[in-house]
Amino acid sequence: MLIPMMLKKIYILLISLVWWTALLGQSYHIGDLYTAPDGSKGIVFYLFPDGSGGWAVALNDASSGCAWGNGTDVPGIPNYLYNYSQMTRDTAGYSRTLTLRSYQNNNPNYAAGVVDFAHGWYLPSTGQLSVLFGELPRISNALVNAGGTDLAEAYYWCAAEYIEGVSWAVDFRGPQSSGSMGGFCSLGHQDLCSVRAVRTFKNTENHGVNYLWNTGDTTFAVTVNPTQTTTYSVVASTTDGQSDTAEYTIVVNAASISEFDVATSTPYVWNDITYSQSGDYTEIYTNLSGCDSIVTLHLNIISSLTASITATADTICQGDSVMLWTDVSVSSISPVLHVPLVAVGDILCTDNSIVKPADYANSGKSAMGIVFYVNNTGEHGWAVHLQNQSTSVVWGGNGTDISALPTYSYTPDAVMDMDGYNNTQIIRSAGDANTYRAAYRVDFTNGWYIPAVGQLRLLYAEIVTINASLQIVGGVLFSMNSGFWYWSSTEQGRDYVYLVSGSGALTSGNKNDSFMVRSVRSF
């Protein structure tokens, strides 16, 4: 960079915006490896719709078999009996674990006592464990690839009671005599179940940044006044081990062409002109030799960052503990933090546009579905219909194996089936509306199909968010009662097809039985 002698003033150097943006803009996808500030690791299984963070599951079990408690009712822990609606809404795993540990004196023989609570890991709530089970098809390989273990075929404790002396667990076992998997089970406090810890994370939690300039300064920006050509460098590092080095050379020369960089989070005033957009701006001066001196400003409007502290409780009793974390707010012309373009619960409209639930009332649009899955592009996924296509219809074709349709006799394999569109197409091609009645109840011509069982499990993992949006648009809410069952398009054999209940449990039903149909579509 050339700077004429007459214009040599005090210049402020700023660290590379590219590196800074990459650092603050870190975001996760389902199945990504997450590293906590203390170095412990997990796999991301849920993302908050606003893109600020989510939940991660530990790579390994905290216990392969421990009791939940001593048989007494724990004050402050909800007793849900068989209220699946409340159970799937409960995401307060951290506060539940805090209550349990306090009441049980951090007993290492109990489920809440075996988790690494000091570093943010806790016993999942019923709702969190239900979501975790629904995401198994997307995170199982990630757990193994990260050096961890897939969730064992066992019961896993939740942070909630059924009644006094009995607590809730979720069944992660493989096929049983009933063919069920992933159902809530009420077990005695002294029964031995596995424990897999989870934790809440923020996208910005690991990004404390330190600076070291070759001038000796340790601030984000330094003020220099070079008298000769000088190279400045800075090493930026984070508390979680990331680092990068940037160099910047200021050439002091009497040449008539010069340029300089400014990075600022506020509008920039240069020669009594206020610039509020990034860009290159040029002014012409006269140098000491009487010649033109062309000066170019490379202006970069960057983000501003503010931090605040959030706590799980404002007031605690002596001897209790509380978790504090830092919330970082970033404002800029271009958002730094990753916010999904489409999120679970968004509304798919009849013109194929997608609007946020809060914007729907004033959008003037008509809804046709609710988003229940978004892929890692943030733009595409699956939506569920606003209505049931049937509340009682046979699947059809009992005793007939559809040769072109994959057969899954093993339940863990079945939940990996996400291809409802092709399944429905194959079923409809195998017979008419009298033979395969469920598949002909959906509007396949316009893209609607019976979900595969893996899609149906993902849908129920997000059922609370989906029902909230269905209520906004006047759709039919999903029941959370175990007595309601929905057909999938995944075949178990010549006589049986997989089903998912209102509680999120998975089983199989005879093709001649009558159950509900709710179609989905891709977008």
Structure confidence by residue, pLDDT tens digits, 332-344 = 444 333 344 788 9
Q: What does the domain layout of the chain look like in residue ranges?
A: 2-24+207-300, 33-202, 347-522
- Both tokens of residue 31? 């199945």
Whole-angstrom distance, CA of residue 66 vs CA of residue 290: 86
Q: Which residues contact 403 (CB under 8 A, 6 or more apart)?
A: none
- Angle, CA of 50, 205 and 346, to the nearest 5°: 10
pLDDT score for 12: 37
The helix/strand count (H/E) of the chain reads as: 11, 32
Q: What is the pLDDT along the chain (523 residues), one digit of tens a residue?
A: 333 333 333 333 433 333 333 344 447 889 999 988 788 999 999 998 877 889 999 999 999 999 999 989 999 898 988 777 788 889 999 999 999 999 999 999 999 999 999 889 999 999 999 899 888 888 999 999 999 999 877 899 999 999 989 999 988 875 443 334 457 788 999 999 999 999 999 876 645 567 788 888 876 566 777 777 788 888 877 766 777 888 888 766 555 677 888 888 778 888 888 888 888 888 877 666 555 677 888 888 876 666 866 666 667 677 666 566 655 555 544 433 334 478 899 999 999 999 999 999 999 999 999 999 998 777 889 999 999 999 999 999 999 999 999 999 887 788 889 999 999 999 999 999 999 999 999 999 999 999 999 999 889 888 889 999 999 999 999 987 767 899 999 999 999 999 988 777 888 899 999 999 999 999 9
Nearest CA among 315, 319, 377 for reference residue 343: 377
Pairing of strands 381-385, 367-374: antiparallel
Which residues is 263 bridged to in the sheet?
Answer: 300
3-state SS, one letter per residue, for 437-460: CCCCCCCHHHCCECCCHHHHHHHH
The answer to whether the beta carbons of residues 158 and 195 sit under 8 Å apart is no
Side chain identity at 19, as an amino acid letter?
Answer: W
Do 424 and 418 touch, CB atoms closer than 8 A? Answer: no
Quote helix, strand, coil % in the chain, to nearest 5: 20, 35, 45
453-461 helix and 136-145 helix, angle to the nearest 10 degrees: 90
Q: Do residues 194 and 154 lie in contact, with contact meaning Cβ atoms separated by under 8 Å?
A: yes
Q: What is the pTM of this model?
A: 0.60
Of 195, 204, 32, 197, the closest CA to residue 119 belongs to 197
Give the Cα separation of 98 and 312 in Å (integer): 10
The pLDDT of residue 475: 95
Geometric angle at alpha carbon 62, from 60 and 65, rounded to 5° = 115
Location of structure tokens 């899609």? 455
- Residues in CB range of 152: below 8 A, 6 or more apart: 61, 64, 172, 194
Residue 22 pLDDT? 37
* Residue 77 amino acid letter: I
Predicted local confidence at residue 99, as pLDDT: 93
pLDDT score recorded for residue 179: 34
β-strand 381-385 against 520-522: which pairing, if any?
A: antiparallel
DSSP state of 154: S
Say whether 278 sits in a helix, a strand or coil: coil
- Give CA separation, 460 vs 128, 244, 479, in Å: 12, 43, 10
In angstroms, the CA 83 to CA 66 distance is: 25
Cα gap 278→494, rounded to integer Å? 64
Q: State residue 364's pLDDT score.
A: 94
